[in-house]
Amino acid sequence: MDFGAARRSSSPFDDTILPDNISPETVKHSWRADLSLMATALMWGANILVFKDGIGRIDPWVFNAVRLVLATLTLSILAALEAKIYPMPAINTSERPANYYQRVLAFSFLSGFLYLITFVRAIDLTTAGNTALILASMPMWTAILSMVFLRERLPQITWIGLLVTFIGTVIVTTRSSGAVSLSSQFFVGNLLMLLASLAWAAATVMSKPLLNWISPLRLAAVSAALTTPLHIALVATQLPSAIPEILQPATLAGIVYSGVCSTGIAYALWHAGVRAVGGSHAAVYQNVVTLVAVIGGWVVLRETPMFAQVLGGCLTICGLLLMRRGRR
């Protein structure tokens, strides 16, 4: 999979780009990528609480569609500003892979549509414990797909970091989110959640070579512009009657945060992190999302922390540090 020489922009959303045949662990990375990914995890973790509160007031599909409209506007504005202030170097379009636009469409469908609809639907059809377990496996899927399709070779310490983070996340989520059940009644929900995990993992891997030709911010904006109309179409008949509920201050505040911050700004930061460190290393930060949500439950919902949750959180952080050490 040869995408030619890497491009670099002076945009603050970018970082040093490497040709795909150079392994990420052979290069010294700055903390900028880690901060971008951690900021994304913090925003996504807070968004779980915001989303849960929002769908208690309004239909989840309507909430999702309206927040994506705001996300698309946010990303479009930021992309336009980036193009004006930090223009990309001229690119010879003939050097792009022949299926470049097909890859952009596939990435947009996976991350902007398939992941979202399967995730939202799966939440209603399976337990919180099952959801936690399946989502905790997402970094593993990303690492495997990166190894197969991008030929990323991860050192042993990185795999150990992945495993430690997985164990920590499982401990945190299963002790706080409800029982894990193998009952056949949850089969469809579990299958949809697994599909959501694979869709996000595949999109993360697919974005890495694309980011040699387009900035993280612009890729996120293009993806949102292509897929948001599909989400609006799903709820077109419900939107008029939902307007009074949407305009309620608490609901509107949740939609604004979820759209502008956790979907708009966070998506740009996420793709910047993937561009800098690769999908395998970036994906492990998704397990921090669960940890942030649990801490938010302690603070906002006044839930009582359990020793197992504290232990799981420590393991998650240790796994992150091992992953970063593996990049060296």
pLDDT tens per residue, range 90-143: 555 666 777 889 999 999 999 999 998 998 888 777 766 566 667 767 777 777
Q: Is residue 5 part of a domain?
A: no
Asked if residue 89 has pLDDT above 70, the reply is no
- 74-88, 164-178, 191-205: lowest mean pLDDT where? 164-178
Whether 239 contacts 124, CB under 8 Å:
no
Q: Is residue 298 part of a domain?
A: yes
Q: Is residue 209 part of a domain?
A: yes
Q: Is residue 92 part of a domain?
A: no
CA–CA dist 165, 121 (Å, integer): 26
Q: Which domain holds residue 180?
A: 26-87+105-326
Q: What does the pLDDT read at residue 226?
A: 96
Higher-confidence residue of 237 and 272: namely 237
Burial of residue 100 (number of CB atoms within 10 Å: 0-12, 13-18, 19+)? middle
Residue type, 262: S
The predicted model scores a pTM of: 0.72
Q: What does the pLDDT read at residue 295?
A: 66
Residues 6+ apart with CB under 8 A from 56: none
Q: Is residue 19 part of a domain?
A: no
> Which residue matches tokens 């029982």?
179
Q: What is the mean pLDDT of residues 56-63?
A: 89
Q: Is residue 20 part of a domain?
A: no
Give whole-number Cα distances, 173 to 59, 267, 299, in Å: 25, 24, 16
Q: What does the pLDDT read at residue 119?
A: 83
Residues 6+ apart with CB under 8 A from 146: 152, 205, 208, 278, 279, 280
Q: What is the mean pLDDT of residues 245-255?
A: 93
Strands (E), 244-306: none
Asked if residue 251 has pLDDT above 90, the reply is yes
Asked if residue 157 has pLDDT above 60, the reply is yes
* pLDDT bucket at 11, cuts 50 / 70 / 90: very low
Q: Is residue 4 part of a domain?
A: no
Asked if residue 225 has pLDDT above 60, the reply is yes
Q: Is residue 273 part of a domain?
A: yes
Burial code (b: 16+ CB inside 10 Å, e: under 16) for 7-25 equals: bebebebbbebbebeeebb
Residue type, 221: A
- Give the number of domains in the chain: 1
